[in-house]
Amino acid sequence: MRRPTLLGSLLLGLAMAASAPAELRPIKLTAHAGRVKKGTERQTCFPVDFPRKREVDVGHVQIFVHGGSHHVHLYRPTTGPVEYPNADNTYSPAGPHNRRPRECAFAIDFSHWELVAATQNADLNWQLHPGVGIHVLPHEPLLIQTHFVNTGVGSAALAVNGKARAKMVLYPMEPATVTAHGGALFAQDRTVLVPPGISTKSSTCALTGPGSDQRAMTVMALTGHYHFRGIKFDVWKTLVDGTRGPLVYENVGYSDPKFQQYSLDDSRPPIEGGKLVLQPGEGLEWACTWQNDTTETFKFGPNTQKNEHCNLFGFYYPTDDPLEAIDCVHKEDGSEVRILAR
């Protein structure tokens, strides 16, 4: 059977929602990165405002990417004054100089912005669990970060005209159907060091917090992220005593690390897409395996040709706050910072 084209999938989704009441019609956000020259890559930040004048809970997310994408992320601001990234990795209040798209070849500062959605695939079609919505405020400032690569290594070919773009479609839920809010996890190991040959590095995140917090989480989806030397990405549940539990995610090879969605089916193990619940005190451990065929050693950083990454993205519920997100960062000095935003 022929696989639906990117445009066909988008048109089908929009057609199905066309008869819905105005407040439930899909919301489209776009980011046009322009021309990416051969042998180069580009990371761009696009400030946008949520177009609705009322609160919305999003229960279905589609992201369509055209041309050599390495990742597309959607962020919203944390508490405090909204400050946008500048090209030099500083942040400043909103103004004409930083409300336009601009280069941002760095990881977004989690003290300013928190993750909402992410994909490393050319097209994402993510239906959240029944009753679960991503909460968005009226006219809330948002930030789309795109990373397009045209180096001929591990990336899809760009269009003939060299233009790269992304489109997000957010499908609102009927308010009466919302029973829980979803949050996002951004877990990042900045201590990665990839020497010549095959190497593996693992990291942990106490996702639910201490067992005394009495907090359980249902995981809706996980996806891994590394650069083109990555050959395997694994995730395990960690148990209350800190030991490694069952394998819950595995991706072999680089091309399009999968966005694995977990169902509410108890009859299948999580590794096969069954139910994945973290009990109070449990967390996740993720590991990247790389194959470095050069004589160089690659450090953490944003450039796919010069640096490496080992990032885990997760999506869960319930949250303690409708706008919650969790950042779990292993810093260059070896310290671990776990931030519960909001």
Residues 232 and 130 placed together within one structural domain of the fold: no
Residues 70 and 163 placed together within one structural domain of the fold: yes
pLDDT given for residue 210 in this prediction: 75
Residues 90 and 218 placed together within one structural domain of the fold: no
pLDDT digits (tens, 9 = 90+) for 100-136: 898 998 888 888 999 999 988 778 999 999 999 999 9
pLDDT given for residue 160 in this prediction: 45
Residues 202 and 308 placed together within one structural domain of the fold: yes
Residues 302 and 337 placed together within one structural domain of the fold: yes
DSSP single-letter state for residue 68: S
The enclosing domain of 94 has a CATH number of: 2.60.120.310
Identity of the amino acid at 219: V
> Is residue 13 one of the residues assigned to a domain?
no
Give whole-number Cα distances, 115 to 72, 95, 194, in Å: 11, 22, 26
C-beta of residue 247 within 8 angstroms of C-beta of residue 287: no
pLDDT given for residue 219 in this prediction: 98
For the chain, the domain total comes to 2
The DSSP line for 138-173 is TT-EEEEEEEEEESSSSSPPPPTT-EEEEEEEEEEP
Residues 26 and 137 placed together within one structural domain of the fold: yes
pLDDT tens over the chain, length 342 residues: 344 454 555 555 555 555 668 889 999 999 998 888 888 888 999 999 999 999 999 999 999 988 766 789 999 999 888 999 988 999 998 776 667 898 998 888 888 999 999 988 778 999 999 999 999 999 999 999 999 888 776 554 454 456 789 999 999 999 999 999 999 999 999 999 999 999 999 999 988 887 777 889 999 999 998 888 989 999 999 999 989 999 999 999 876 688 999 999 999 999 999 999 999 999 999 999 999 999 999 998 888 888 888 999 999 999 999 999 999 988 766 555 666 655
> Is residue 277 one of the residues assigned to a domain?
yes
Domain that holds residue 302: 182-341
> Is residue 248 one of the residues assigned to a domain?
yes
Residues 264 and 287 placed together within one structural domain of the fold: yes
Residues 193 and 331 placed together within one structural domain of the fold: yes
> Is residue 4 one of the residues assigned to a domain?
no
- Mark which of 129, 145, 177 sits at the end of a domain: 177
Give whole-number Cα distances, 194 to 86, 115, 154, 205, 338, in Å: 29, 26, 18, 21, 24
pLDDT given for residue 9 in this prediction: 54
pLDDT given for residue 264 in this prediction: 97
Residues 240 and 255 placed together within one structural domain of the fold: yes
- Nearest one of 44, 297, 22 to 147, comparing CA atoms: 44
- Mark which of 154, 177, 200 sits at the end of a domain: 177
- Mark which of 149, 177, 205 sits at the end of a domain: 177
pLDDT given for residue 225 in this prediction: 87
> Is residue 188 one of the residues assigned to a domain?
yes
Residues 194 and 58 placed together within one structural domain of the fold: no
The enclosing domain of 317 has a CATH number of: 2.60.120.230
